[in-house]
């Protein structure tokens, strides 16, 4: 398949996990991929190292892409962070950081790309989570950010659909990536709640998520707009 031939995609979170796998997948299908991450990125056509909490850096980064390639066809907002915290212990700093990367970063990346996506009749694929579709213990900030991504996706899809662009999101369940290290259960909590998060039979590999991102980012999904595609092996079925 060469679904991304002559297309330029921006992928945030491209240095690791699902973003890295999606970068490889789109490139393997002929796409030119610009990776954005706070960490160094390998195996990409252009790497832009930036912290999505630095909102002033977003528009210049998008301009850099347009100056280099003249177009943007796909934006995959994949960068994300999270943690477990007891509600009583959550801090404003951590709350703002999680909402800032996962939700605010997703919106302002999208806003900066919109004019170019209107021009190319392109699309956006956001990253929610089953923590945004269903309960996940000790995850109020993370779940709120991912629920926000779902609402944002649906709203932007409906607002901008008539202009010819599509906005969808993927809600992964458990995926074997580095993000797991950020989710350490707080002390003195009821650990039986972990059962809510257990994958159906096995966690996903990042490449299995990349396949779903590639589908929604491609013309194969030309009539998908505003959808939340759960990719969780049936955990929340
Ligand atoms: N792995 C899972 O089980 C799982 C489940 C549901 C949803 N998700 C979501 O999938 C997405 C990808 O996560 P992953 O599992 O690949 O984790 P990961 O930690 O491997 O990758 C996340 C990437 O985002 C980047 N990033 C984080 N904060 C950033 C910032 N401020 N600015 C720029 N880049 C930043 C990191 O450097 C990293 O490269 C996230 O949005 C995550 O919430 C993951």
Q: Which pLDDT belongs to residue 198?
A: 87
Q: What is the CATH number of the domain that holds 202?
A: 3.40.50.720
Considering the domain boundaries, does residue 213 fall inside one?
yes
CA distance 163 to 85: 41
- How many domains does the chain contain in total? 1
- 236 assigned to some structural domain: no
Residues 125-181 have pLDDT tens digits of 999 999 999 999 999 999 999 999 999 999 999 999 999 999 999 999 999 999 999
CA nearest neighbour of 110 among 96, 95, 125? 125
- 53 falls within a domain: yes
CB atoms within 10 A of CB 45: 15
Contact between 64 and 40 (Cβ < 8 Å): no
Spacing, Cα 13 to ligand 1 middle (Å): 6
In a domain, 2, yes or no: no
Q: Is residue 43 part of a domain?
A: yes
pTM over 0.75: yes
Could you tell me the residue range of the domain that residue 16 belongs to? 8-231
Which of the listed residues 12, 25, 48, 79 should we mutate to test ligand 1's pocket, taking the one with most ligand atoms within 8 A of CB? Answer: 79
Query: pLDDT above 90 covers what percent of the chain?
Result: 95
């Amino acid at each position: 398949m060469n679904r991304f031939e002559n297309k330029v995609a921006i992928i945030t979170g491209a240095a690791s996990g699902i973003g890295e796998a999606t970068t490889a997948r789109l490139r393997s299908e002929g796409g030119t991929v610009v990776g954005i991450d706070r960490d160094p990125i390998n195996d990409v056509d252009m790497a832009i190292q930036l912290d999505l909490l630095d909102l002033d850096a977003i528009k210049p980064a998008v301009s850099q892409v347009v100056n280099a390639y003249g177009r943007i066809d796909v934006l995959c907002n994949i960068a994300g962070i999270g943690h477990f915290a007891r509600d009583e212990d959550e801090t404003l700093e951590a709350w703002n950081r999680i909402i800032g990367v996962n939700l605010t970063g997703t919106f302002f990346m999208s806003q900066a790309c919109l004019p170019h996506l209107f021009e190319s009749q392109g699309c956006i694929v956001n990253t929610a989570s089953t923590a945004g579709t269903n309960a996940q213990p000790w995850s109020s900030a993370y779940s709120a950010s991912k629920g926000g991504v779902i609402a944002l996706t649906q709203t932007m899809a409906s607002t901008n659909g008539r202009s010819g662009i599509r906005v969808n999101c993927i809600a992964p369940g458990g995926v074997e990536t580095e993000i797991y290290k950020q989710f350490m259960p707080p002390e003195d909590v009821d650990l039986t709640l972990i059962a809510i998060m257990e994958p159906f039979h096995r966690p996903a590999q990042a490449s299995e998520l990349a396949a779903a991102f590639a589908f929604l980012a491609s013309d194969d999904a030309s009539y998908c707009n505003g959808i939340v595609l759960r990719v969780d092996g049936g955990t929340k079925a």
